[in-house]
Amino acid sequence: MNQKRRCGLSFAQKTLLWQRWKDGESLSDIGRSLGKHAASIHAIVRPHGGIMSIARKRSTRVLTLAEREEISRGLHADVSMRQIAASLGRSPSTISREVARHGGLKTYRAALADARAWDNARRPKRCRLAVHPKLCRLVARKLRLKWAPQQIAGWLKQQYPDDETMQVSHETIYRSLFIQARGVLKAELMKHLRTRRMMRRSKKASAKGQPRGQIIDAVSIRERPAEAEDRAVPGHREGDLLTGSNNTHIATLVERQSRFTILVKVKGKDTESVVSALSKQVRKLPAELRRSVTWDRGMELAQHMQFTFATGVQVYFCDPQSPWQRGTNENTNGLLRQYFPKGTSWLATRKAI
């Protein structure tokens, strides 16, 4: 019987984990500091939607342990409840209910009463969306229309100014999406958020210092020769990596002048697998048709220098978030998706087409 794996973090380590997450550190950095894999950190953060739980605090209005000890000593000395209440500055009814709730005059014990009161105070309040189904349905409908939670909250306040049961804050909407344990808004609605974010990230979070997206010695597309730009000379290509189901991947190479396309099946999306497969296929081309390749900022071609050494083909990289700089390849990928929709497995595909 398979047992669920546990991350094995102590309370102090989990506290440190959440503090680092709040400070904007990445899952990988947090994992390294705690000696755990990033997936283990994600398994803790994700169910909470990336939102750190607020530590429980005693209300200043409730009886303290010291006051309960005074009550216990007073009962033991046969002091009346009114006298005990007066000495503590509390209402006699407060003392009476306290004693009746926790054992009575003869069996009241301060420590046990305090522990029981703390435990009984756990009353998880259901959020407004869970209590009012009509409001929940309306919010879900607006989310499907691509409305932001802030827009929904503002619109509800204008539409139902006198009905608080039909108003909800944008923070409640976000939390109901990110924390799926609430069972209010379905996870599929998160894809309608403009950021499509699956959990909350700290405002301090940054990719600075992380290897993600940083390609060593990358040559900018701005340095690509003019002959590639005007498509006057054949041999200049644009490339990308398409992902299918079952962790299968295929690389596309489109010649800019003729639009001739080569599909190269790769073992994985790691840079070694991609560079090896591309090098093998490009070397089969005539020398005059091996001039350059323009790629996006994907780390699958991080070892571009090895590719250039093996094939003699210079690699140029697009600017971040600029897919139009590889417009021919993007258009070709769109056509390919008509025949191989997202979710299609590339397992039955030949090594090269």
Closest to 241 in 3D by CA, of 254, 228, 259, 229? 254
Check if the beta carbon of residue 352 is closer than 8 Å to that of residue 279: no
Return the structure tokens found at 46.
């994700």
Rounded (10°) angle between helices 81-88 and 65-76: 150
Residue 2's pLDDT is what?
47
CA distance 106 to 187: 53
How many angstroms separate the CA atoms of 247 and 199, rounded?
23
Q: What is the pLDDT of residue 216?
A: 85
> CA end-to-end span of the chain, whole Å?
44
Q: Which of 239, 346, 215 is nearest to 293 (CA)?
A: 239
**Sheet containing 261-266, strands listed edge to edge, beginning at the edge strand earlier in sequence:** 261-266, 249-255, 236-243, 292-295, 314-317
pLDDT in tens, 3-52: 444 557 888 888 888 888 888 888 878 888 888 887 888 888 888 888 87
User: Distance between CA atoms of 123 and 120, rounded to whole angstroms?
Assistant: 7
What's the pLDDT score for residue 28? 79
* Per-position pLDDT tens, the chain of length 353: 444 445 578 888 888 888 888 888 888 788 888 888 878 888 888 888 888 777 778 888 889 999 999 999 999 999 999 999 999 999 999 999 999 999 898 899 999 999 988 888 776 667 888 889 999 999 999 999 989 899 999 999 999 999 988 999 998 898 888 887 777 888 888 888 877 677 777 766 655 555 555 788 889 998 888 888 888 899 999 999 998 888 889 999 999 999 999 999 998 888 999 999 999 999 999 999 999 999 998 889 999 999 999 999 999 999 887 888 999 999 999 899 888 888 788 776 665 55
Question: What pLDDT is recorded for position 4?
Answer: 46
pTM of the model: 0.45
